[in-house]
Structure 1
Amino acid sequence: MHGRQQLAKTVEESGIAVVPGVYDGISARLVEQQGFASGFLSGAGVSNSRLAQPDVGFLTLPDVADQSREIADAVDIPIWVDADTGYGNAVSVHRTVRRLADAGAAAVMIEDQEWPKRCGHMAGKSVIPFDEAVAKIEAATDARDEHAPDVLLKARTDATEPLGLEEAIERLNAFADAGADVVFADALRSEEDIRRVAAEVDAPLSVNMGFGVRSRPTTPLIPAARLEEIGVDVVIYPRLITAAATAGMKRALAELETAVETPEEYEAPDAVVDWDYYTDLIGKPAVDDLEARFATDED
């Protein structure tokens, strides 16, 4: 079972679906190795890691499709893909869903911000009109049903900040009526807001817990168990791995500076993973097996 069916089963099963963010093949492999059932390809993570740019609309469909294809090829777990606004109007959304399905996405998320979009937890967001937002989800649903029935559709609204919580709830219910499998209101400001959305939206609900292991000034950090009690079905942690990788790289470079400045042999084994572990992670044993299978006398 793959894609939409597998993810839908995960969402419907008892217990909240916990989905860490990924941004490349290694991060996705680590999520899979740790035993998580799926990963979320974060647009912010791709923009930050691939472009060294903030999440303010620099990514294009080819960027995201290429990254999705490489990640989907690297792991067996399904990958949710952040498709921002769909990179245009409703017709563009239709094409985006088809392209990302072809690239191996198990789920595609479309949001209702104006372009250029920005990270949902940045100031200055604006959203497109209600009817236009719903039309985009209808286009995404149509593309899914005609071209990629195994793809799960997640619909996101950023309306809370500019237009208020009631508008966000109205949009989420309209997105569900338009065919979205899962809905998501980003940057909710309190646990009470999350409780209200869960109570008033008639669809599986996803929320964003950012780093997951430290708080931030927008949505409060809430344990997954309490989110489940509130009525949340899916929780994503899109910022965790990029922030953790940055912390790890900074530490390793600081250790390298120490090693360079120290005349004696200097080791900091805790700053890096073991060589055998790393080569296993990147699939070297599988390549070795292929080389052995297809070796010739001339090799």
Structure 2
Amino acid sequence: MTARESDARISDGQEPRELGAEEPEGHQHRSAVDGVDVAPVPRAMLRDALGSGDLVVAPGCYDVVGARVLEAAGIEAAYLTPFGFQAADAPAPHAPHDPWERYLDRARELVDAAGLAVIVDGQAGLEGNRGAAERAADAFSAGAAGFVIEDRQGFGKDRPLRTMAEVGREIATVRRELGRETTVIVRTDAVRDSLDDARARCESYLDAGADLVQPLMTRYLNYPDTPADRERRMSAYQFLLERVPADRVVAHSPTGRHLPVSEARRMGFGLYFMSQLLIASAVTGMTHEIAAVLADEPGPTPLLTPEDLATLTGVGRWLENRW
């Protein structure tokens, strides 16, 4: 399959292969936000962006301020990162006890707060015993423009992998729940064992109906960043791309430092997850600024003024009463 053909398959929202029974006309899921589907535009925006032929960068986002920062920076998509969510999560007394429900609430908040296509990780270790259909329906109701499933059994990096046939059946289930407008992404952890297996799984998952595949390249991101290690990393990607269309691949780097955006764009990748970029930069910036203030020294970078913060976050009315 050519990149042009795969672009067309993503941009027109058609499934790459029949998965059995036809989906009824007019998908019936409604958002839990005021009983209305709040996300048709972000969903279409993500599909249009993926079909444009250019790289879509999706930093990990975990709060409303981060969503508004991304929107102000011209970013179109955000990945609701389970790590960032859990690091920032402190349930209020009125909040749902179930962490999955709180996670979905955060997705709704991000969708409502900014014009971003929010991609929800559907196997975050927060979902308990919910099956694929329930998780997908929950994500749709929360306004997800994209939904990620994985091929490992349960949560944990050393968990065994399911068979390709099992994952294929889950892809069909998720596709039926999400409809055609939501982008289905399948992550494979097979790279940890074999690039050959990872490549075969990527092909299988695309054939089963996934829009994009994410080979988890952590094994190649743990090297020191030397020229030899970069070459090893890029060789692994090139091996996968011999049989998997680049524009159907989700590249990833926790902070975007392992794979320059220019290189990801040159290779033709469709989507780039930077899952911990915002939380890492926020914690780093807070740590440096606190140290500078306590030492009565200039901070490492100029801070935004209260007026700038009010404009960015949309709380100007609050500021008017206090400054």
1:154-199 CA deviation, whole Å, 9 max, x = no partner? Answer: 111111103x112112222222122211111112622111112223
**Which of 22, 33, 43 does residue 61 from structure 2 map onto?**
22
User: Is residue 134 from structure 1 mapped to residue 165 from structure 2 by the alignment?
Assistant: no
1:135 maps to a residue whose letter is: R
Unaligned regions of 5+ residues in structure 2, if any? 1-39, 91-97, 221-232
Give the distance between the partners of 2:89 and 2:161, measured in 1 at CA: 26
- For residues 70-113 of structure 1, the C-alpha deviation after alignment (integer angstroms, 9 at most, x for no partner) is 11111012111122268467x71111111111111111111122
Q: State which of 187, 190, 213 in structure 2 corresponds to 1:156.
A: 187
What SS is found at the alignment partner of 1:200? coil
CA–CA distance in structure 2, aligned partners of residues 255 and 156 of structure 1: 41
Q: 1:209-241 CA deviation, whole Å, 9 max, x = no partner?
A: 22113xxxxxxx222222233231111211111
* Number of the residue aligned with 2:304: 273
Tell me: CA distance 1:269–1:171, structure 2 relative to 1, closer, same or farther (3 Å). closer
Amino acid at match of 2:75: F
| Aligned residue number for residue 223 of structure 1 | 260
Residue in structure 2 matching 1:78, options 113, 117, 123: 117
Corresponding position: 1:11 with 2:75? no
1:107-186 aligned at under 5 Å gives the runs: 107-118=146-157, 124-145=158-179, 149-162=180-193, 164-186=194-216
Aligned to 2:101: 62
Q: Percent identity?
A: 22
Question: Does 1:232 pair with 2:269?
Answer: yes
- TM-score in terms of structure 2 length: 0.72
Question: Contact 2:53/2:270 (CA < 8 Å) preserved in 1?
Answer: no
Alpha-carbon shift at residue 271 of structure 1 (Å) = 6.0
What RMSD in Å do the two structures reach over aligned CA positions?
2.7
Please tell me whether the aligned partners of residues 164 and 204 of structure 2 are also in contact (alpha carbons under 8 angstroms): no
In structure 2, distance between residues paired with 1:85 and 1:253: 32
TM-score (norm 1): 0.77
Q: Is the 8 A contact 1:19 1:234 kept in 2?
A: yes
Distance, in Å, in 2 between the alignment partners of 1:49 and 1:112 is 27
Preserved contact between residue 307 and residue 319 of structure 2 (Cα < 8 Å): no
CA distance in 2, matches of 1:14, 1:288: 42
Structure 1: unaligned runs, 5 residues or longer: 52-58, 119-123, 214-220, 260-265, 290-299
- 8 A contact 1:72–1:104 mirrored in 2: yes
Displacement of 1:126 in angstroms is 3.4
Partners of 2:261 and 2:301 in 1: CA distance? 29
Aligned length: 260
Distance 1:22 1:97 in 2: 20
8 Å contact from structure 2 (residues 76, 115) kept in 1: no
Larger relative contact order (Cα-Cα within 8 Å, sequence gap ≥ 6): 2
Matched, 1:208 2:228: no
